[in-house]
Structures are given as C-alpha cells and as structure tokens.
Amino acid sequence: MTTATKLFGPVQADMAGVEERLQGVRRTDQPLLAPMLETALAGSGKRLRPAIALLSGHFYRYDLPRLVTLAAALELLHVATLVHDDVIDNAPTRRGRPTVNARFKNTVAVMLGDYLFANAAVLISQTEHVRVIENFSRSLMLIATGELGQDLSTYDTNQDIRAYLQRISGKTAALFLTAGECGALLSGAPEEHVTALRDYGYNLGMAFQIVDDILDVTGTEAAMGKPVGSDLLEGILTLPSLMLMERQPRNNPIARLFRARGARRAAFLTEALAAIRESSIVEDSYAMAEAFADRARAALAPLPADPAKATLHDLCGYVLSRSS
C-alpha cells in the first residue's frame, strides 16, 4: 500500500478536498504574495498529517467538511514550520525545489511563515470545537519548543539520545499526535479511542522522524532533495550521529567536523557518514523506529473494525520503508 492511489485507503478521494482548501490559501489578490505561497505549498510531500486526521475521523461520525478544515490547518502549520526551518538552516532547497528564502530573502520567508501560521489559526477556528482549537495551539507551542531546543543545541556534542527523543517529540511527533487526536474528537469518538489515536499519532511521528534522520545519512541527494549529511553540516545531532558519538567517544569525526572550518569540513563529513554506514548504527536506528511503529500499531487495537484501521496500520510500514 504505497502507491498514491492506495496509500490513504478510504479517505484517498477525500484528500482532494484538502488540496482545494490549500489552493484557496494560494489564491490571493496580492500579486507579490502569490509566487511566495506557490513556492511554499508546492511539492509539500504526501500530506501524511492531513490524511491521518481524516482517517482518525473515519471511525464514527465522518464529518468531512470539518475534518478537511482540520487537515488543511495541520498542513499549513507543517508548511509554516518548514519555511521557518529553512530560514534558520539557510537551506537553498527542500525536496529538490528552491526554498522561499532562496528565491526571495530571509525576512520575507519569516513573514510568509507567520502568514501561514495565521491562516492555519483561522482554519482551525472554523472547526468550532474548543478542545480541537486548544490542542492545535498546544501543538504549535510544542513544535516551537522542539525547534528552539534543536537550534540552541547545535554543535553541542554534550547531548544524549534521551534529549534527542524529547526534542523530536515536540518538533515532529506533536503534529502527528494532534492529527490523530483532533480527527477523533471531531468524529465524536469515545475518550478511550481519542487516546488510542493520540498515542498512534505520537508513536508514528517518532518513527517518522527517526527514519528521516536515518535517511539524512544513508539516502541520496536525488531522493532527498538536499545534500546528504545536511543535519551534521548544520551542527544537528540526530539518532545515528548520537550513537556514533556514544560508541566512539575518542577521535570522533563528528567532533572534528564541528570544530573544522572551510574545505576540511567535507572530509570529516565523509568520514563521519562512512563510520555510521559501516557499523550497526543504521540497523540499530531502524530498530528504534520499528519499536515506535510497533507501539503505533498496538495503539490501534481498541478501535472498531473499519477500513481506516487497516490503512493506519499499513502507514506504519510505509513510514519505515520510505526512501525520501
């Protein structure tokens, strides 16, 4: 279940409604804003978070208009964080496309991210569900906290895996969690099942980010749309690099990379990537991602029989097996 027509099962056709809501954001009477929105919203991945919101709302009252509004708000929040991330990282490309800050300038990109946040807030208010609005706001706070933690810890080799997991629980898992929980809330699911879908989203989000971090050191620039080892070049320690730091505390190429300047950095990056790939670190990192995916699958157990349940289950396998 990995092709575009099958990935989201019973809600695949309804994802068109999410795209239409996002197209509504792109349509603007301000000609200077239009190309910026097009750059930010083009090629934004497979819309996994919106799909989880629709799937989580499929078990009870499938209130499609409100679920589509929620799903679009989640995607706008996600895109806004990416725009701000690219400013912080001074990233020239994302998924092989020029970033907003590369096409325009950093100050414009920051303001565009704020504009997208504001649009997301307007959309989420239209659900008219107080708890959904509250949870969405909390998710934004957790994402900001995770991003702040990442930015403040760059080039700091005194980090551990526990701190990493805490960071990605806010940076990435919070939005997956919100998609599952809020989709369930809008469907009128009983509290036990709201909790189940919340737990599912959290654990899937953790698995997703770990795989993302593995691919940053094992993938290709063509597949990832960015240079391999980008996180290390930006001073960001992820699970594979933290494992290398723990297992090779002396004479570590990552520590040398972080201290180096100029052309020497490329040599130390190559050495660090080789050390990770030639050890069991990639396999061990995937094992941790699989453990989170297993928890996500287990969280689905209390939910009633529904095609959405099988699809959510299969998404765990997709997250683990993806190459970009």
Q: Is residue 22 part of a domain?
A: yes
Q: In terms of residue numbers, what domain contains 116?
A: 9-321
Angle between helices 15-26 and 106-125 (to 10 degrees): 130
Q: Is residue 4 part of a domain?
A: no
pLDDT for position 225: 75
Paired tokens of 103: 């096409």
Q: Is residue 1 part of a domain?
A: no
Q: Is residue 312 part of a domain?
A: yes
**Partner residues linked to 93 by β-bridges:** 98
Number of domain units in the chain: 1
Cα(189)–Cα(58) distance, integer angstroms: 10
pLDDT for position 2: 40
Residues 124, 132: contact at Cβ < 8 Å?
Answer: yes
Q: Is residue 238 part of a domain?
A: yes
pLDDT tens per residue across span 104-136: 888 889 999 999 999 999 999 999 999 999 999
Residues 31, 2: contact at Cβ < 8 Å?
Answer: no
Which CATH number goes with the domain that contains 95? 1.10.600.10
Number of H-type helices and E-type strands within the chain = 17, 2
- Residue owning tokens 């960015």: 226
Cα(210)–Cα(240) distance, integer angstroms: 9
The sign of the torsion formed by the CA atoms of 180, 196, 4, 293 equals positive
pLDDT for position 26: 85
pLDDT for position 1: 38
Q: Is residue 202 part of a domain?
A: yes
pLDDT tens per residue across span 256-303: 999 999 889 999 999 999 999 999 999 999 999 999 999 999 999 999
Q: Is residue 179 part of a domain?
A: yes
Low-confidence ranges of the chain (pLDDT < 50): 1-5
Question: Which residues are CB-neighbours of 84 under 8 A, at least 6 positions away?
Answer: 109, 110, 113, 147
pLDDT for position 71: 98
pLDDT for position 251: 87
Q: Is residue 203 part of a domain?
A: yes
